[in-house]
């Protein structure tokens, strides 16, 4: 397994050149005027598992997750099972100032890739897994947003580095 820290320059090159994996981007969505786009994490520190998500309306999406979990109707059964047995936490990793679906997908996949390669947490995001590892999402990022990628990837990395040690169980 490659270590992301050693390939930080390669990741930046891939982002700039737009070399992404085979995961296809979703069609355009309606964006609410007052929505906050961003990346969030659901953490189970007991099992050292987490779920990474993205949304144009991050507060509403987290609310939706909580409602589904409380009603025992979440689509990710493993997340539902762990919610039923343990305390889990919801945290916003980063709010972005760009309302671009491909940028959100890229940043979500970056967060999954970083956690998968550099942290001791497992991911609930199995639908993004390809051959046992996570890849950067396929994306078409406009040139004017490519400079934002570096800023956001460093913010995401820093937030994950801050959040996950905080949720480590003491054995």
Distance separating alpha carbons of residues 135 and 147, to the nearest angstrom = 20
Tell whether the model's pLDDT for residue 170 goes beyond 50: no
Distance separating alpha carbons of residues 87 and 170, to the nearest angstrom = 15
pLDDT level of residue 41 (50, 70, 90 thresholds): very high
Q: Which domains does the chain have, with CATH numbers?
A: 29-166 (3.40.1440.10)
Tell whether the model's pLDDT for residue 138 goes beyond 90: no
DSSP H helices in the chain = 8-17, 58-70, 77-85, 101-118, 143-166
Average pLDDT over residues 44-61: 90
Tell whether the model's pLDDT for residue 62 goes beyond 90: yes
- Indicate left, alpha or beta for 48 from its phi (over 0: left) and psi (-120 to 50: alpha): left
Tens digits of residue pLDDT in 66-77:
999 999 999 889
DSSP 95: E
DSSP code per residue over 123-161: ES-GGGEETTEE-PPP----HHHHHHHHHHHHHHHHHHH
DSSP 4: G
Tens digits of residue pLDDT in 78-137:
899 999 999 899 999 988 887 788 888 888 988 988 888 877 788 887 655 545 555 566
Average pLDDT over residues 158-170: 75
Tens digits of residue pLDDT in 5-39:
333 344 444 433 433 333 333 334 444 556 789 99
DSSP 91: E
Distance separating alpha carbons of residues 147 and 103, to the nearest angstrom = 11
Cβ contact 12:150 at 8 Å = yes
Residue 41 has which token pair? 């994490």
Cβ contact 11:4 at 8 Å = yes
Q: What is the dihedral of CA 113, 31, 98, 93, to 10 degrees?
A: -40
The model's pTM: 0.73
């Amino acid at each position: 397994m490659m270590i992301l820290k050693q390939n930080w320059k390669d990741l930046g090159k891939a982002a700039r050149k737009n070399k992404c994996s085979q995961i296809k981007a979703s069609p355009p969505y309606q964006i609410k005027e007052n929505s906050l786009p961003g990346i969030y994490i659901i953490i189970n520190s007991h099992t050292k598992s987490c779920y990474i998500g993205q949304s144009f309306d991050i507060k509403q999406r987290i609310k939706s997750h909580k409602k589904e979990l409380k009603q025992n109707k979440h689509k990710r059964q493993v997340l539902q099972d762990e919610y039923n047995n343990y305390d889990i936490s919801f945290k916003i990793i980063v709010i972005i100032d760009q309302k671009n679906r491909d940028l959100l997908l890229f940043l979500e996949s970056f967060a999954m890739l970083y956690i998968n390669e550099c942290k001791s947490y497992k991911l609930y995001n199995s639908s993004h897994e390809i051959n046992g590892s996570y890849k950067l999402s396929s994306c078409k990022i406009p040139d004017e947003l490519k400079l934002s990628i570096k800023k956001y990837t460093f913010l995401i990395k820093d937030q994950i580095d801050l959040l996950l040690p905080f949720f480590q169980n003491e054995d």
